[in-house]
Structure 1
């Protein structure tokens, strides 16, 4: 099993495009924290990106892309020291799908956002840095630009299956950005994503994902990875930030939460299928992780809005 594929299948990534932004001269536009994971592509020109909580602004050149993984405010500017104006009125006044800032049109950006299921933050986003910049010359940037073009075309045409195609393209875009992050920032990455780049940890992750209900022990997992129990425990903790059995428990909860949201089976059936010997033990573990009992979580997921 591919742990990244498993996780992406649970987070329910969808996407939408916002209006483009044309800018020139002196401009500094401040955006409120996005509801989802924000992405943008610089079509032409260059500008600065300043993200709240990130010490240094990032220079964006034509062809660059960026992904914001946190709901934090950010600014796009010709000069990061300029006073800002709010993005809201500019985008409300957008014409032909383009908002205008400053005086001129030397700079043009297009972007949008991913939205995920309610468990995605802990499952995927907490392991990512607040902003990931994808440089223009990388294959990943080319993929993002192409995906944005195709998403835009699909949603504008409103043809049969357009929404489904757009959602698949969004996942392709996200996978390519995550691959770049894992390759480029392997030394700084932490969490299960970082574990995908560690041969020992990755082997254990694949085994747990292939058989999540199996009563794994650290000793058995260590044997499967051809390392000692102490080596596995230390390495897994160092890379992922938690022990292998802690990770397994968290993954079982995610699998169960997905099935509960979808109404797939009784709580007792789900408990058994993810490796719990009793419904009561599962309910205690689920409430500890999610904050709601399985039945309360199902009721909350069923409520509209």
Structure 2
């Protein structure tokens, strides 16, 4: 299995498209901190993105898109001197799926957000910079542009199930953006994501994700990457921040956690499914990684769901 596909699947990645934005003249909109990961794509014109806490603005042109991976307030504006107004009322007054601000419509943007499961922060978002900017006009950005164009066409023409199709296309766009960011700026990511940018480490990661229950040794993983055991160990530690077998343990615990949340299988069955010979072996590893036993974790998840349903 592909590690990026595995993690996005584990995190139950979903997209939620928002109202489009048309703007012109002098304008500026102030947005509250988003939940999940915010994205916008400039389909016409240009503007500036300013994110609270970041030193430099990001200039956006037609064809550009960005991901905001942290819950930070941000502003979109025509120029540095425009007075910002709250975006909430502007979007509440939207008509025909488009919010309008300013005196013309020189700028048009589409956007939305991605929501994830409970482990997104550690597994994905912490490894990304606060803003992932994908400029247009590069060969590698063609796939992102294709997805954005398809999303815009679905939203504009509105054929049957257009919103569902557009939301699935947005997830496709997210994958292309992450791929492109890894290719363009491999040192701007951390954790397992940075390992995907190293071909040797990436092959070891792919092997572990393909068969997580297998009793891997570092030598076997090194063979998959056609390097020595010491070379793999050093490169894995340098890029991912932990050894390959430590990573394998943590990935197994992630898989076990999902089964504890989503199934009624016994801990013993789950242990065998993720590569542990006994319930006690899984329990020791699970407590070492999460600080609690599998049974306590399952009870905690159940109690949280009951509290939410009763709210």
- TM-score, reference length from structure 1: 0.88
Give the superposition deviation at 1:242.
1.6
CA positional deviation for 1:268: 2.2
Question: Which of the residues 291, 295, 298 maps onto 1:295?
Answer: 298
What is the distance in 2 between the residues matched to 1:244 and 1:83?
A: 51
Distance 1:287 1:93, change over 3 A: farther
Quickly say closer, same or farther: Cα 1:167–1:260, change in 2 above 3 A. farther
Q: Are 1:252 and 1:274, in contact at CA under 8 Å, matched by a contact in 2?
A: yes
1:38 CA drift (Å): 0.9
Residues in 1 aligned to 2:47 and 2:96: alpha-carbon distance in whole angstroms? 23
Contact 1:21 1:108 in 2 (8 A): yes
Rounded to whole Å, the distance in 2 between the matches of 1:153 and 1:267 is 49
Query: Which residue of structure 2 lines up, in the alignment, with residue 185 of structure 1?
Result: 185
Residue 129 of structure 1: how far off its partner (Å): 1.4
Separation of aligned partners in 1, 2:163 and 2:96: 21
SS in 2 for 1:43: strand
Return closer, same or farther for 1:38/1:147 CA change in 2, 3 Å cut-off: farther
Mapped to 2, the partners of 1:291 and 1:197 lie a distance apart of: 31
Please say if residues 110 and 152 of structure 2, whose CA atoms lie closer than 8 Å, have aligned partners that are also in contact.
no
Alignment check: 8 A CA contact 2:151 2:166 kept: no
Report 1:239-258 matches (<5 A).
239-258=239-258
Deviations for 1:136-171, whole angstroms, at most 9, x for unmatched residues?
2230331231242255369x5564x963x4453232
The gaps in structure 1 that reach 5 residues or longer are none
1:204 corresponds in structure 2 to 204
Moved more, 184-193 or 127-136: 184-193
CA RMSD of the aligned region, Å? Answer: 2.5
**Aligned equivalents of 1:283 and 1:83: distance in 2?**
57
Counterpart CA distance in 1 for 2:42 and 2:207 is: 41
Structure 2 residue 22 is matched with structure 1 residue 22: yes
Unpaired runs of 5+ in structure 2? none
Query: What are the equivalent positions in structure 2 for 1:95-106 lying under 5 Å apart?
Result: 95-106=95-106
Q: C-alpha distance in 2, partners of 1:116/1:143? A: 24
Separation in 2, partners of 1:97, 1:291: 47
Task: Please tell me whether the aligned partners of residues 261 and 302 of structure 1 are also in contact (alpha carbons under 8 angstroms).
Answer: no
Residue 215 of structure 1: SS of its match in structure 2?
Answer: coil
TM-score (normalised: structure 2)? 0.87
> How many residue pairs are counted as aligned between the two chains?
302
Q: 1:301 to 1:200 in 2, by over 3 A?
A: farther
Alignment partner, residue 222 of structure 1? 222
Note closer, same or farther for the CA distance 1:89–1:18 as it changes in structure 2 (3 Å cut). same
- Indicate how the Cα distance of structure 1 residues 152 and 100 shifts in structure 2: closer, same or farther if over 3 A, else same: same
Counterpart position of 1:43: 43
Distance verdict in 2 for CA 1:42–1:126, change over 3 Å: same
Give the Cα–Cα distance (whole angstroms) in 2 for the partners of residues 266 and 298 of structure 1: 15
> 1:227 aligns to what SS in structure 2?
coil
What is the alpha-carbon distance in structure 2 between the residues aligned to residue 73 and residue 297 of structure 1?
32
Correspondence 1:140-289 to 2 at 5 A:
140-149=143-152, 152=155, 157=159, 159=161, 163=164, 165-263=165-263, 265-289=265-289
Alpha carbons of structure 1 residues 277 and 18: separation in structure 2 relative to 1, 3 Å: same
Following TM superposition, by how much is the alpha carbon of 1:252 offset from its aligned partner in structure 2, in angstroms?
A: 0.9
> Secondary structure at the residue paired with 2:212?
coil
Aligned residues of 1:44 and 1:62 also touching (Cα < 8 A): yes
Post-superposition CA distance 1:43-63 (Å, at most 9, x none): 211100011232210111112
Change (3 A) 1:300 1:123: farther
